[in-house]
A and B are shown apart, each in its own frame.
Chain A
Amino acid sequence: MTYYVGPVANLIRELHKLPGIGPKSAQRLAFFILQLPVAEAQRLAEAILVAREKISYCSICGNLTDQDPCSICRDEARNPALICVVEQARDVIAIEKTRNYRGRYHVLQGALSPMDGIGPEKLRITELIDRIQNGGVQEVILGTNLNPEGDVTAMYLAKLLKPSGVRVTRLAHGLPVGGDLEYADELTLSKSLEGRREM
């Protein structure tokens, strides 16, 4: 990077900080930006700034929002007795796309990960307990990822919430749509057997 003059090196360095962007991609993006018309580069820079300034976390559910509380937490038509706990704001989008869920959310902003030094205090767990203690919650659906971090988080929360008396459920581990049975791993297959439904 020392081959580049200051501003170019700086741009590459900043882009390199983005997730999934290696040094080569950072260079490619930097050169793309450098050949943009100034007006377009300005729009890009502004879009980043405005989004960063206007968007914050909802004080209730932790989702990304431009208003506090967010539109889902303000929506009277959504069942406040049902909370789906997810790791990230992008998981809210994924569930919203199903158009099948009418409860509310709680975004933890991460998952427990002993290997990465992420303990309960780094997640929005106290906020979740507070919401439940304030009353009115009947069921918490644990929608964390189906990997070690997500499973540790779900089991930890299930144990933590048990004394509060709310019903705690976990998203079923099913077969992926379009997944051939013969390629499904044994865990997925046995989980989808357990989670089978009446037809």
Chain B
Amino acid sequence: MGFYKTEAVVLRNRDFREADQLVTLFSLDYGKIKAVARGARKPKSRLRGGIQAFTWNDLMLHTGRNLDIITGCDIRRSFYFREDLDKLTNALYWADLLERILPEREANPALYALFINFLQVLDSLPDNPKMTDDYRVLSHLFELKLANLAGYRPDLNQCGYCQKPLTPAKGRVWFSLGLGGVVCPVCVQAPEAGFLPLSLGTLKIMQYWLGMPVQQFYRLKVTKSNRQELKRILPAFLEYYLEQGISSGKLVRDLGDNLP
């Protein structure tokens, strides 16, 4: 392919070899790319600024034998939240989810746009240490929208067993990890492994969220009990489909909980 250009956000960078950095990018045109920024650890490097985590760039790359090489960057803006623990840790959690869920070199422009959108919303929130709960809601919204755009849209409208539409009369349904959606209380009556209780209130939030623009996330009231259900269901759902444990989400939530 030789030289090519793309717009991208840096998900992560690590020290690599003597003076280089290995950068994981989420790019608009090629999805996830791992590329080397040569000499980027030297103070004079022109690439240094552009390859920091959460920098939104126009990049120039060159095809390499194993890894592509970043040859130039033009920074649009940085979403690196150096002054706010909640913003930075939640953004790190999203980047970790993307790194795990994105296949290499498969464009997903809708998911790319969603990620930029989430970073912009995060940026627009005031720096306020008392808003930890809002960040958590935003992260659960990210989990659901990510699942949807990565090809794991949960079925929230009809029972995965009897296929009947869920009637809003019954107080509680189940979320089945294996079926990837809801199950009615007629088909499953008692708790079973892999079936998580889901109240109709939380179900409505999830249904609404799937179609809601990210910017409106604060408009919907999410109670503490809704949040607890979302916390039990959404991370487990992602772990089930990715077939791997994802410790970053819990760690980020615990960091907030442990603070005075």
Contacts and interface: CB of A to CB of B under 8 A. Distances in A.
Interface string A134-152: 0000000000000110011
B255 interface: yes
Contacts of A147: 52-53
A20 interface: yes
Interface string A112-150: 101101011000000000000000000000000001100
A163 B247 CA distance: 29
Interface in A153-199: 155-156, 159-160, 162-163, 176-180, 183-188, 191
Contacts of A152: 85, 88-89, 92, 255
Contacts of A185: 48-50, 52, 75, 78
Contacts of A163: 260
A170 B61 CA distance: 36
B17 interface: yes
Contact of A115 (B12, B259, B260): B12
A187 B43 contact: no
Interface residues of B, number: 36
Given A148-B53, A179-B44, A117 B82 contact: no
Contact of B89 (A114, A120, A191): A114
B255 A119 contact: yes
A27 B89 CA distance: 40
B136 to A, nearest CB: 14
B155 interface: no
B106 to A, nearest CB: 21
B255 A120 contact: yes
A177 B43 contact: yes
B80 interface: yes
Nearest to B14: A147
A104 B185 CA distance: 63
B248 A114 contact: yes
17 contacts: A114-B93, A114-B247, A114-B248, A114-B249, A117-B251, A147-B52, A148-B88, A148-B92, A156-B255, A159-B259, A160-B260, A177-B43, A180-B44, A183-B44, A183-B45, A185-B48, A187-B82
Interface of B: 12, 17, 43-46, 48-50, 52-53, 75, 78, 80, 82-85, 88-89, 92-93, 95-96, 99, 129, 247-249, 251-252, 254-255, 258-260
